[in-house]
Amino acid sequence: MAPPPLLRLDGVRLTFGGTPLLANVELGVSPGDRIALVGRNGSGKSTLLKIAAGTVEPDGGEVFRQPGATIRYLAQEPDFGDAPSVEAYVAAGLGPADDLYRVTRLIEGLGLRPDARPGDLSGGEARRAALARVLAPEPDIVLLDEPTNHLDLPTIEWLEEEVASIRSAVVIISHDRRFLEKTTRATVWLDRGRVRRIEEGFGSFEAWRDKVLEEEERDLQKLDRKIVREEHWLRYGVTARRTRNERRLAGLHQLRADRKNARRATGTVEMQVGDTRESGKLVIEAKAIEKAYGERVLVENFSTRIQRGDRVGFVGPNGAGKTTLLKMLIGEAEPDAGTVRLGTNLDLAFLDQKRASLRDDLPVSEALTDGRGDQVMVNGEPRHVAGYLKDFLFQPEQIRTPVGNLSGGERARLLLAKTLATPANVLVLDEPTNDLDMETLDLLQELIANYPGTVLLVSHDRDFLDRTVTSVISPEGNGCWLEYAGGYTDMAAQKRGAQTEARKAEKSAVKPAAAPSASRPAGQPSTKLSFKQKFALENLPKEIAKLESAIAKAEAEMADPALFAKNPDRFSKLAKESEASRAALAKAEDEWLELEMLKAELEG
C-alpha cells in the first residue's frame, strides 16, 4: 500500500487578470518523491510551488499538508533579512530537533565563509547560502525553484549528489536538463493551467510531451472538421430550414464555444540574428596572455586562435576567471603580458548575465530600442516593437510594462531580443541560459548551431554546451587554461583520458619488483600467467581496438553540424554511447597494462 501523501493540492485555482493561471490543478507529493515540475515561462510553476509552500493563497481548491510535515522552499531571490552572517542565516532555518552539525557541513561543502555578511555575497554565493538554509534541516519536502541558477559546475554536481542522498521528497523547477535527468523520477507538466504527470524522470519527458501535443492537435483538427460539417447543415440542409432543429443548432453553438476556449500550446519564440557584414577569417588570436590581481593569478601563458564560425564555450568554477579571460579576448580588458590580435570587420553583440543593460524604470519598448522610437532594425529592415516582441512571446499589453515588473524569464527574453537585434558577426553570450524555459533554450541552441558568425559562450549548462559549442576552454588550476575539442562531455572524457595516461605513466615507472603480486596463487610464487590472464592479454587489444573504432565512428557522426537540428535524440544517444565507450576503454587499457607488467615480471 502506497504511503499517504505529505502534500496534496486538489482543484487549486488561481487567476491573474482574465486568463486562469491555474485551473483545477492537482499535485501530490509522497515520501521519497523526486519530481521535476516543468512548463513554459509564465505557466505558473513558481506560483504553484509558492502555494505548496504556503506563501501564496489560491483562489479556490484545497491544500493538504500532513500534520507535522516540514516543508522548505528555495525561492529564486533569497531574503536574508537582518542576518549578521551566513552561519546565522543558515542556522535560522533549523527546527528545535535539527542537527547544528549539518549547518557547518553544508557551509563547508558549498565553499562559503560562515562569518561572511549576506549583503556582501555574489549572486552565486547568495544562491549557495539559500541552498544551505533549505537543506540543513533535512525537511520532509524540499521545493527548489531554479536551484542551479548562478551556480558553477562543481557546485551543481555537488548538489546532484546531495539531492540523491537526502531522505526528503524533492520537487524541482529547473531549466538544466542534465540536472533534472540525474535527480528526478517523476515529471509534472504544467501547461495552460492544467497538470499532467508521468512516473518517469525528466529524461522521458520531452518525447512524451511531443506525443501529447500531436494528439491534441489532431483532436482540434477533428473538432474543426465537425464544425464545418454542422455549419454546412445549418446553411444548406432542407430539413434544418424547415424544422429549425434547435437541439442540433445548440450543439453547433457548443462546438464553436469549445473551439474558442481550446487553448493551444503557447507559441514558440521566433529568433533571428541581426545581419551584418562578414568578419575576416581570423577573429581572435591570443599569444601567451596573462592576468593577475595581486598574488592571485587568473590567467597564465594562455594562447588560442579563434576563426570565423567557431563556437567556443568557457567553463569553470565561479571566480576562476572566465569573464576576465573572455574580456581580454574581445579587447575589453588589457592582459598584463602577452598580446591579443582582433580580426577585421568585427561587430560584437554582448549578452550580459547581470542584465545590466536593462533599466528597471524603462518600459519594455524603450528598453528594447534605448528610447529611439517604436521601431527596431532587424536584418536591415524596420520592425515595430510590438511585432518584434511578439516573436519573443510578449503580449501587446506588456509593451508599456516597466522592466522592473517582469519575471526573471521575461527579462531574459527581453535581453535576448535586444541582443539578437544588434547587427553582429560575433555573439558574446555570458550565461544566456539563466531563467529561460526549455523551449526557448531549444530555439537558442538551434540559432547558435546555424549561426554563420562566431560565438563565445560562458555557461554552466552541460547539456546546452554539448549541443552548441565546437570547443571548450577550461581552467586546470594555477592560472592554466586548456582548450578541448567538442562539447562539455567531450572535454570531461578527454580529461579522464589524460588522467588515465598519467596513471599509466606512474605504473610504468614502478620497478618490476614492486608490481602487484595479488594475482599470484596464495602460498607460492607463480612462474607463468593463468589461462584466464593469458586469454585476457590476447583479447584485450581487440576489445580496445573495437572501442576506439566505436568512439571514432560516434564522434564522426556527431561532427556533422546539422545532426542536432535534424535529430537531437540521435545526437544525445551518440554522446552517451561515446562517454560509455570511453569509460570502458580506460578500464580495458588499465587492465591490459597491469597484465603486461605482470608478464614482464614473471618472465624477468
**Of 167-176, 260-269, 509-518, 568-577, which has the strongest mean pLDDT?**
167-176
Kindly report which listed range (276-280, 468-472, 547-551, 562-566) carries the lowest average pLDDT score.
562-566
What pLDDT, on the 0 to 100 scale, is given for residue 270? 57
| Residue predicted with more confidence, 188 or 418 | 188
Residue 592 has phi, psi (to 5 degrees) of -60, -40
Confidence of residue 232 (pLDDT cuts 50, 70, 90): low
Instruction: Output the nine-digit C-alpha cell for 166.
Output: 537526502
Instruction: Output the nine-digit C-alpha cell for 39.
Output: 512548463
Confidence of residue 97 (pLDDT cuts 50, 70, 90): confident
The H helix count followed by the E strand count for the chain is: 19, 20
Q: Would you give the distance in Å from CA 544 to the centre of its chain?
A: 34
Instruction: Output the nine-digit C-alpha cell for 497.
Output: 583520458
Q: Is 315 exposed, middle or buried (0-12, 13-18, 19+ CB in 10 A)?
A: buried
What integer is the mean pLDDT of 218-227? 68
**Of 73-82, 502-511, 513-522, 583-592, which has the strongest mean pLDDT?**
73-82
Residue 228 has phi, psi (to 5 degrees) of -60, -45
The answer to whether 320 is annotated as binding is yes
Confidence of residue 599 (pLDDT cuts 50, 70, 90): confident
The answer to whether 317 is annotated as binding is yes
Q: Is the pLDDT of residue 386 over 50?
A: yes
| Residue predicted with more confidence, 221 or 300 | 300
What pLDDT, on the 0 to 100 scale, is given for residue 535? 74
pTM of the model: 0.68
DSSP β-ladder status, 311-314 and 454-458: parallel
- Cross-strand bridge partners of residue 292: 297
The answer to whether 321 is annotated as binding is yes
Render pLDDT for 259-307 as a digit per residue (tens, 0 to 9): 455 544 455 555 555 556 678 889 999 999 999 988 889 999 999 999 9
The answer to whether 39 is annotated as binding is yes
The answer to whether 105 is annotated as binding is no
DSSP line for 378-414: ETTEEEEHHHHHHHTT--GGGTTSBGGGS-HHHHHHH
String of b and e for 554-580 (b: at least 16 CB within 10 Å)? bbeebeeeeebeeeeeebbebbeebbe
| Residue predicted with more confidence, 393 or 479 | 479
What integer is the mean pLDDT of 183-208? 90
Confidence of residue 536 (pLDDT cuts 50, 70, 90): confident
The answer to whether 44 is annotated as binding is yes
Q: Is the pLDDT of residue 575 over 60?
A: yes
The answer to whether 46 is annotated as binding is yes
DSSP β-ladder status, 194-198 and 186-191: antiparallel
The answer to whether 318 is annotated as binding is yes
What pLDDT, on the 0 to 100 scale, is given for residue 242? 45
String of b and e for 7-21 (b: at least 16 CB within 10 Å)? bbbeebebeeeeebb
Q: Would you give the distance in Å from CA 440 to the centre of its chain?
A: 11
Confidence of residue 193 (pLDDT cuts 50, 70, 90): confident
| Residue predicted with more confidence, 298 or 586 | 298
Amino acid identity for residue 200 in this structure: E
Closest CA to 351 of 418, 279, 254, 449: 418
Q: Which residue has the cell 516543508?
A: 71
What pLDDT, on the 0 to 100 scale, is given for residue 440? 77
Render pLDDT for 59-88 as a digit per residue (tens, 0 to 9): 999 999 999 899 999 988 888 888 999 999
- CA distances in angstroms from 109 to 22, 60, 105, 113, 114, listed in the order given: 38, 42, 6, 11, 12
High-pLDDT (> 70) share of the chain, % = 82
What pLDDT, on the 0 to 100 scale, is given for residue 88? 93
What pLDDT, on the 0 to 100 scale, is given for residue 516? 45
What pLDDT, on the 0 to 100 scale, is given for residue 517? 42
| Residue predicted with more confidence, 538 or 295 | 295
Render pLDDT for 458-492 as a digit per residue (tens, 0 to 9): 988 898 898 889 899 999 888 999 999 888 988 88
| Residue predicted with more confidence, 517 or 35 | 35
Alpha-helix runs per DSSP H in 171-279 = 177-183, 205-236, 238-243, 246-261
| Residue predicted with more confidence, 223 or 310 | 310
Q: Is the pLDDT of residue 252 over 60?
A: no
Report the SS3 class of residue 182.
helix
Render pLDDT for 114-140 as a digit per residue (tens, 0 to 9): 999 988 888 788 989 999 999 999 899
The answer to whether 322 is annotated as binding is yes
What pLDDT, on the 0 to 100 scale, is given for residue 523? 46
High-pLDDT (> 90) share of the chain, % = 30
